[in-house]
Structure 1
Amino acid sequence: MVTVNGVSYKNVQIHDPFWTKYRNLVRDEVIPYQWNALNDRIEDAAPSHAIQNFRIAAGEEEGNFYGYIFQDSDVAKWLEAVAYGLAATPDPELEKLADETIDLLGRAQQADGYLNTFFTIKYPDRRWSNERDDHETYCAGHLIEAAVAYYETTGKIKLLDIACKLADHIDTVYGAEEGKLRGYPGHQEIELALMRLYEATGDERYLKLSRYFIDERGQEPNYFKLEADKRAERFGRESLLAEGYYHLYKHNYEYNQSHLPVREQQHAVGHAVRAVYMYAGMTDVAAETQDQSLFEACKRLWDNVTRRQMYITGGIGSNHDGEAFSFDYDLPNDTAYTETCASIGLIFWAHRMLHLDPDGKYADVIERALYNGTISGMSLDGKSFFYVNPLEVWPEACKRPDKKHVEPVRQKWFNCACCPPNLARLIASLGGYIYSQSEHIAYVHQYIGSDTKLEVAGRHVRLSQKTNFPWDETIELAVSPDRPGEFTVAVRIPGWCEGAAIQVNGQPVSVEANLHKGYAAITREWKAGDIVLIVLPMPIERVYANPNVRVNAGKVALQRGPVVYCLEQVDNGAILPDISLSEHAALYARFEPDVLSGVTVITGEAVRGEWPGGDTPLYAKKKRIEHSVKIQAIPYFAWANRGAGEMLVWIRER
């Protein structure tokens, strides 16, 4: 295993035409909007009650717990997004609001370190009795992540102390030692959070607990079965039938990946978010302990996810029943679940794999998910959200029971509101995904206008990117060490790109001769003011699915650079599946500053059919008359910002 070091979001300043808009949106609109949502101030939106739950748990107000059992995690993710936002733009008023929220969490924490409003308010005698379903460690994990981020940004220790007390309590509950429960999380998340806490504090207990959760999972006898047997003994076996997750566990434990020890798992199965959070934790543990067998399991699962179970948008988890992976090549478009959180979790995992194995394929997946399957989950004004991200929508069909999970327009909020704050924290922390470094190599993973400083080959090196990516193919990278010296700058050549060209100070550099695992590694004596010009040609590409993806047989998707495109009814009329694109039809890309806040659109000619004479029988023996039509495709991430209507990614080809 080769380990490279990430560059903290705190040390990267973003000034990018594309992403600055999103980051400003998160700062100015999304974080305030989500605070209002957490306090039930959004008219006609699903209530949250999350802040109120903490006030009740702290004994400051009367009332009952409201919401899902994991409602606390929404507050934690909001705090994490605030932390990242403060790192980019100090805001005393927002920081004061966050501090007051942290004070509230501290008052709600129990004397033994336990912190979970559902059990404190509703079932104080049932703590740790159903970790399979009750999300106690999941909520704790998000609180820990928020605490580390807030400490890193502000230097304030109060939330970190709360998180350490909670983690210490959990360490007394679970483990291999006598008197502890031999259990592990029902919804994975705390594994990666504990690794962040270990990195922040240096306390090896957190590393040990994270590794325990990874190693214990899937061992026999299955802990969740033993746990359920105890509940049956305590509350009666009929009580199990009333549990919300009963149908998912009736036959097997694949739903939360506890069916086998993690090193024996061959295929990604079960709830997609739980899976990728676990895989991210596995990668962290493998990196810290240099556990080759665990890393091999991560690589095997990576290949299965990205080569057999990932949508072209970077979405994962095709099955709405259980928000889950189904089986290889089962990637339906109109019933796709592809939860926003799943794409975000895929990015978390890919980021960790990239630092354990510097290979451009991981950064390619980060890029695919960033520009497609994640930001599609939020409207362009930051005030409505998708939980589910399908690749084909017919609004009328969303009334069907098998498509009831698909929404044709974004919603103001959700009862289960994990996705909006998750997306906010991803965008706010974007600076951490652009660069990394090893002793002699500075890596550029993502093409985002930004500045950072690294330490490479004993030198302080400033990197600065200027680009209009993803619309423009040119990136200017300035490399300025504090003193001249030899080291390597490795710039990613995306998997979608052919014919990339690089110049250093106007002199061509061979991409092919320097290409290694997806990176053009330029080794030379660098001096202040050196300029690397990277050109990544972006013709409109036709993309075809593996023939095993049966629903896409005879269809084509359009992609330009990292951006996947779709047709919308507002541009192309109704019955989008009736449109067919000639194999040799000319297609044109044009930037439209007034369309969808400024995007590059794709235009061209296609074919539609119509009945002669306007007669429209249900069935006929004659083929319809075909005629030429103009089409316009827009970036997938921007669909459903102009009202409800049909949408289609995969287009028939003729």
Structure 2
Amino acid sequence: MGKAANSSISLKQIHVTDNFWNKYVHLVKDVIIPYQWDILNDKLEDVETSHCIENFKIAAGEKEGEFQGAVFQDTDVAKWLEAVGFVLNYERDEKLEELADETIELIGRAQQPDGYLNTYFTIKEPDGRWSNLMEGHELYTAGHMIEAAVAYYEATGKRRFLEIVSKFADLVCQTFGPEEGKIHGYPGHQEIELALVKLYRVTREKKYLDLAKYFIDLRGTGKNYFLEEEKRPGHKRIFPDFVNYDTMYAQAHKPVRKQRTAEGHAVRANYMYSAMADLAYEYQDKELQQACRNLWDNMVHKRMYITGSVGSSGFLERFTTDYDLPNDSNYSETCATIALAMFGKRMADMEKDASYMDVVERALYNTLLSGIAMDGKSFFYVNPLEVWPVSCMPRTSREHVKPVRQKWFGVACCPPNITRTLASLGQYIYFQEENEIYVNLYVANETEVTLNGVPFKITLKGNFPWENKMTVSVDGVQETEAIIAFRVPAYAENFKILRNGKEENLTEDHGYIKISGKMYKETFEISFDAEPVFVHANPQVRVDSAKVAVVKGPLVYCVEEADNGENLSSVMVNTDQKIEETYDDELLEGCSVLHITGKKISEKGWNEGILYQNRKVELEDVKLTLVPYCYWGNRENGEMLVWMKELFYM
């Protein structure tokens, strides 16, 4: 069966009821979307000015003024509208829909007669269209606008926004391509490629799919387009401080099919990889599919953090080299984690291999959620694994690390990206193939599907990840042949399934247990063990040598100063002990808390006048409390640490 734009099961049919996720999902409509709307309209005095809506009014000729913000400022409202579309799938809201419609009409009025849509170039550089693909972000911005329109159309059935972006996409098709007289170039920041696939899937206009393939196939071939672009007379830089352009930064250093390692800007890379996976599926391109596997394997097994984040360098937000994973100066942009989850979901759906979803789950449960405060009103752009607040100083190697979440950013790609991801969480829970349903995430929900033409309601109940017992009810209007596949997480021990009270003989296929046969009114009870454990890094990860982290299921845990005092880097733990787990209803809106014992280097005998001294290290006993990494920084400003020193007894 062909893929839908955003999910193989319509998001209208998936209703999340999960206690863990609804802490955040319920905030999207009532808190996060209104909060971000106020920011987009510059209504909040104590946050960085957005000017986003104002730019559209100026571009539409309804106000006088100058363009303000980043060259890709339009994408903030695009992602906001996409989130609105996702929200309207599960709860229609007349006022919110009216607000979105008004915004869409404003965007339409800002669109130029030939279909062009970009407020930066319309207002500030009207003669600069398509002249700086390296830095201009025109195609990137177009991609986010297309994604928003597709989501809004799928939710509401309204075609106005879809018509606006289709007109723009038609212009892009007329401008770019292999034909003589067209621009033989590709995006500096990838995004439009995956968006064009989505547009194709709702319109069935093959030219959109073909253009996405053209952009991917051309990238990194022949003379580098960006370097040749720079040589043109009168070429004008948008980011003049960004000198000595590195083609690897934009994954344009070689053809995509020949790329073997994840390189360059981590968000650009994973947006491109997501498009590659989509195109591999649509064209049944086995060579492109293998390239996706190669890139995934390198990124996940050699360049990814334990929290599911990627992009270790604070300089240029990029990958560096294998096993270079610093904890206190890493970048790990929230957008990069979201893009990684997008890529992993596509690969899992195409190959029906649960190992991809193991990574997706880790990314969603850890770094996605660390990127947003529990009140929905502040955000992390950067997600370190170790923080000493006073060292996060301007004009230092940790300048980019913020010890507290920020209300907004001058470059605000991450907050609305989090919003649209939370609003579309349902897309990750299931895959459907004709009469097959794949359960990927154990997120409580109620979902309606059709199997062999028969309507079914699937209800998943449970309290995961705090408890590892779930019930999945499959309720059809009549009996039919079907297959339901349950993901077996890599961390799960003693995985069991009872079908209507009887234990099933389980055969695992690429990480899924498939149960087939007549389906009518079925109850599946799933259980497994996932005790908290100590985890070590590959010895090649130099910064984590002789260190240990604590993981329970998909959740990575950390120690915070709020529970354990300061100077956390002086803590050592013995991994022979059993980790104690308790559930605290009050802490962080309810979560499992872990307790271990350890040692801490004593400061007795040291004073401010001594920096180095020839003396034996003295250790003190300590009791340590660990909380989920995704919740860190929600109480008070203080130190945080994921990787602790291991205490060895020789």
Per the normalisation by structure 2, the TM-score is: 0.97
1:336 pairs with 2:338: no
Matched, 1:550 2:552: no
Whole-Å Cα distance in 2 between the matches of residues 488 and 152 of structure 1?
27
| Contact 2:337–2:368 (8 Å) recurs in 1 | yes
Partner AA of 2:31 in structure 1: E
In structure 1, the partner of 2:526 is 534
Q: Following TM superposition, by how much is the alpha carbon of 1:466 offset from its aligned partner in structure 2, in angstroms?
A: 0.2
Report the RMSD for the aligned CA atoms in angstroms.
1.6
SS in 2 for 1:427: helix
List runs of 5+ in structure 2 lacking aligned partners.
none
Contact 1:3-1:287 within 8 A present in 2 as well: no
Hey, what's the Cα distance between the residues in 2 that align with 1:447 and 1:76?
30
Q: Which amino acid aligns with 1:498?
A: E
| 2:578 paired residue number | 586
**Aligned partners of 1:2 and 1:356 also within 8 Å:** no
Residue of structure 2 equivalent to 1:72:
74
Larger deviation: 468-477 or 404-413?
468-477
Match of 1:503 in 2: 498
The worse-fitting range, judged by mean Cα deviation, of 182-191 and 429-438 is 429-438
User: One-letter code of the match for 2:309?
Assistant: G
State how far apart, in whole Å, the 2-side matches of 1:245 and 1:167 are: 31
Distance 2:481 2:130 in 1: 56
Number of aligned residues = 643
CA contact (8 A) 2:3 2:201 kept: no
Going from structure 1 to structure 2, the CA distance change for 1:615 and 1:487 (only over 3 Å counts) comes to same
Residue 306 (1) aligns with residue 308 (2): no
**Shift, 1:485, TM fit:** 3.3
Q: Work out whether 1:608 is the aligned partner of 2:600.
A: yes
- Contact 2:354–2:510 (Cα < 8 Å) also in 1: yes
> Helix, strand or coil: the match of 1:500?
strand
CA pair 485-140 structure 1, distance change in 2 beyond 3 A: same
Q: Name stretches of at least 5 consecutive residues in structure 1 with no aligned partner.
A: none
- Structure 2 CA distance for aligned equivalents of residues 247 and 468 of structure 1: 51
Matches of 1:7 and 1:611 in 2, distance apart? Answer: 58
Structure 1 position 583, deviation (Å): 1.9
The alpha carbon displacement at 1:441 in A equals 2.0
Letter in 2 for 1:651: M
Which of 251, 254, 263 pairs up with 1:257?
Answer: 251
Q: Deviations over 1:393-419 (max 9, x none)?
A: 001111161000000000000000000
Q: Secondary structure of 1:601's match?
A: strand
CA distance in 1, matches of 2:124, 2:604: 66
The answer to whether structure 1 residue 247 and structure 2 residue 240 are counterparts is: no
Displacement of 1:523 after TM fit? 2.1
Q: Give yes or no for contact 2:176–2:185 (8 Å, CA) kept in 1.
A: yes
Instruction: Give 2:410's match in structure 1, choosing from 415, 434, 438.
Output: 415
1:204 to 193, 206, 226: 206
1:114 and 2:116 aligned: yes
Alignment match, 1:269: 263
> What is the deviation of 1:8?
2.2
1:50 maps to 52
Task: Assess if the C-alpha contact under 8 Å between 1:555 and 1:651 holds in 2.
Answer: yes
Q: Retained in 1: the 8 A contact 2:23–2:374?
A: no
Structure-2 residue corresponding to 1:369:
363
Say whether the 8 Å CA contact 1:444–1:492 is kept in structure 2. Answer: yes
One-letter identity of the residue aligned with 2:298: N
Distance (whole Å) between structure 2 residues aligned to residue 283 and residue 112 of structure 1: 32
Q: Which of the residues 400, 406, 411 maps onto 1:405?
A: 400
Stretch deviating more after TM superposition (88-97 or 455-464): 455-464
Are 2:94 and 1:92 aligned? Answer: yes
Displacement of 1:213 in angstroms is 0.5
Q: Would the alpha carbon gap of residues 590 and 11 (structure 1) be closer, same or farther in structure 2, given more than 3 Å must change? A: same
Q: Identity over aligned residues, as a percent?
A: 48
Partners of 1:555 and 1:405 lie apart in 2 by 25
SS at structure 2 position matched to 1:499: strand
The yes-or-no answer on 1:639 pairing with 2:632 is yes
- 1:465 Cα deviation from its structure 2 partner: 0.1
Contact 2:531 2:553 (8 Å CA) reproduced: yes
TM-score normalised per structure 1: 0.96
Q: Could you tell me which residue of structure 1 aligns to residue 234 of structure 2?
A: 234
Aligned partner letter, 1:649 = V
Q: Counterpart of 1:539 in structure 2: which amino acid?
A: E
Aligned AA for 1:574? E
Name the stretch that deviates more: 85-94 or 407-416: 85-94
Aligned match of 2:215:
213
The equivalent position to 2:169 in structure 1, one of 167, 170, 176, is 167
After superposition, the Cα gap between the structure-2 partners of 1:403 and 1:248, relative to the gap in structure 1 and judged at 3 Å, is: farther
Q: Does 1:293 align with 2:296?
A: no
Q: Name the aligned partner's letter for residue 84 of structure 1.
A: F
Equivalent residue for 1:463? 458
Equivalent residue number for residue 595 of structure 1: 587
Amino acid at match of 2:531: P
Match of 1:103 in 2: 105
Deviation at 1:612, TM superposition (A): 4.3
Asked if the contact 1:198–1:204 (Cα under 8 Å) also holds between the matched residues in 2, the reply is yes
Confirm or deny: 8 A CA contact 1:367 1:446 kept in the other structure: yes
Deviation at 1:307, TM superposition (A): 0.7
**Kept after mapping to 2: 8 A contact 1:3/1:355:** no
Supply the distance in 2 between the matched residues of 1:345 and 1:248 (Cα, whole angstroms): 27
Listed one character per residue, the Cα deviations across residues 261-313 of structure 1 (whole Å, up to 9, x for unaligned) are 11111111000000000000111111111111111101110101111111010
Q: Secondary structure at the match of 2:583?
A: strand
Report the alpha carbon displacement of residue 520 of structure 1 after superposing the two structures with TM: 1.1
Letter in 1 for 2:356: Y
Q: Name the amino acid aligned to 1:346.
A: L
Judging changes above 3 Å, is the alpha-carbon distance between structure 1 residues 632 and 248 closer, same or farther for their aligned structure 2 residues? farther
1:131-150 alignment runs, 5 A limit: 131-150=133-152
The CA deviation at 1:506 is: 1.5
The alpha-carbon deviation at position 2 of structure 1 amounts to 12
Q: Does 1:491 align with 2:486?
A: yes
Q: Is the 8 A contact 1:488 1:521 kept in 2?
A: yes
Q: Helix, strand or coil for the counterpart of 1:280? A: helix
Letter in 1 for 2:642: V
User: Contact 1:76/1:146 (CA < 8 Å) preserved in 2?
Assistant: yes
When residues 481 and 638 of structure 1 are mapped into structure 2, their CA distance, relative to the original with a 3 A threshold, is same
**How far is 1:389 from its partner?**
0.2
Deviation at 1:351, TM superposition (A): 1.2
Match of 2:443 among 448, 453, 458: 448
Q: What SS does the corresponding residue of 1:482 show, helix, strand or coil? A: strand
* Cα distance per residue 1:403-460 (max 9 Å; x no partner): 0000000000000000000000000011111111223421101111112122334433
Q: Per-residue deviation at 1:246?
A: 3.4
Equivalent residue letter for 2:519: W
* Deviation by residue 1:175-198 (Cα, 9 ceiling, x = unmatched): 100100100000000000000000
Q: What is the rounded CA distance, in whole Å, between the counterparts of 1:21 and 1:113 in structure 2? A: 41
Structure 1 CA distance, aligned partners of 2:242 and 2:443? 45
The change in CA–CA distance for 1:394 and 1:248 in structure 2 (over 3 A counts) is farther
